[in-house]
Every structure is written in structure tokens, then in C-alpha cells.
Amino acid sequence: MTKILNKTTIDEMKARVCEANLSLEQSKLVVLTWGNVSEIDREAGIIVIKPSGVPYETMRAEQMVVTDLDGNVLEENSLRPSSDLPTHIYLYRHFPEINAIVHTHSKNAVIWAQSGRNIPPYGTTHADTFYGEIPCTRQLTKEEVDTAYEENTGKVIVERFEKENLDPLAVPGILTIGHGPFTWGTSVKKAVENSIVLDEVAHMALFTEVISEKKTELPKYMLDKHYFRKHGANAYYGQN
């Protein structure tokens, strides 16, 4: 049974989600209405997500949509939630470590998604956030698209992680083939940061391939060094 949050907590979630959505435009990761951010309160079983098709220039915190984990809207006179809500729900159900999700059509990441390629770990900028290549999903079948497109988008993401035994916190994002990136994190701030990093890394990798005849991925000892100096029990980057 869903526990309804008190109004103060809902308002705080809406403010965070709205601010995160607006930051996507400020970071030039979205144009028009192409993107969405959500946050989950797992104890209450509630998600707050961007409304569908609302322009960023008119977006307000009170417009954010509150749903349960079945996608039911919980407030009267609410706008419709993002059409990508079923993808978010599926990821929240299968990645219990995450508390926020970002989806964009950011240009550099989409270039790789449209090519159907994983992004190799060519440099330390990549390794600081992503422990290994950034994967790309398989193509959905016609049946998967026709029956439950958005939910099945979540399924092919989870399928890729389960198939390769990937840790969603160590690889906090993926490309959906022909579509675009999804990233996530333990907070909305972290999920947005991971989306920014993913697009920057995609840009760097693209030009690495353009100008380099011999493309060399980072050796594992360098990948380990840069990832684990920022993550895990022995991390030493930044302040306590």
C-alpha cells in the first residue's frame, strides 16, 4: 500500500526535480522538450517526474507529476507525466541502488546511440565516472515497440546490465540504440552530473576516432586508478 508523503516532502521533491530538469537546458543537453528527470522516494513508493511536453521556459515546480510505482498519478488536476515514465519505473524496480534518472537527446551521446556502438574508455575523463565502456542496448523488436515501447526500453537496458553483470553505480548510464542516453544516480544532482559527463565523454571519443588512426583504450590499471580514486572505500579525490 502506497504511503502518501506529506506536502512539505512532496514540494521538496518537486523543487529538486524541476531544478534538475531546468539544469539540463542550462547545460545544453536538451532542446525543445526533449528530456526528463525523475526522483524516487522508495520508502513511500512515490516518483516525481517532469510533465509531458511542457516547455522548459514555462516549467514550474508545482507542475511536476507525482505517481506511484505502478504509474498511477496521485494528485488531482495533475498534468500528464512524461511518456518515458514506464522506462523510469522499470529501472527503479530493477536497480534498487538508484534514486534518480535522467533521459536526454544530447547531441554527442545520440550520435553514438544512432551508430549502435558502445563508447570505449579512451581516457581518464571517462574512467573518472564510468568503470568501463558505456554500453549501447540492442534494437527493440517490432513486437516490443508495438506492445509496451517505453517499458520495453527499460527492459533492454536492464537486460544488457544483467547479461554482462554490470553494476549500475559503476556504469551509471547507457545508450538506447537509435534513441539516446539514460543516466542515473543516488540523487538527482548526481544523475544530472552523470548525464553531463556522458555527453562530454561521447564528444571526446568521437573526435578521438576522427583524428587517431590507432585508437587505444585505457589499460585496466589506469581505468582502476582513475575510477577508484573517486569511488569506493579507498577513494581520496576531493574533500571529506
Show the CA angle centred on residue 18, arms to residues 15 and 21, nearest 5°.
150
Q: Name the one residue in this structure whose C-alpha cell is 532542446.
A: 31
Cell numbers given for 114: 544512432
Integer Cα distance of 74 and 89 in angstroms = 15
Residue numbers annotated as active site: 128, 237
Instruction: Give 104's contacts (C-beta < 8 A, 6+ positions apart).
Output: 24, 29, 30, 34, 35, 180, 181, 195, 199
Integer Cα distance of 155 and 149 in angstroms = 10
Contact 71, 138 (CB under 8 A): no
The alpha carbon dihedral of 69, 54, 56, 29 has a sign of positive
CA distances from 9 to 21, 43, 89, 96 (A): 18, 12, 20, 21
Cell numbers given for 142: 517490432
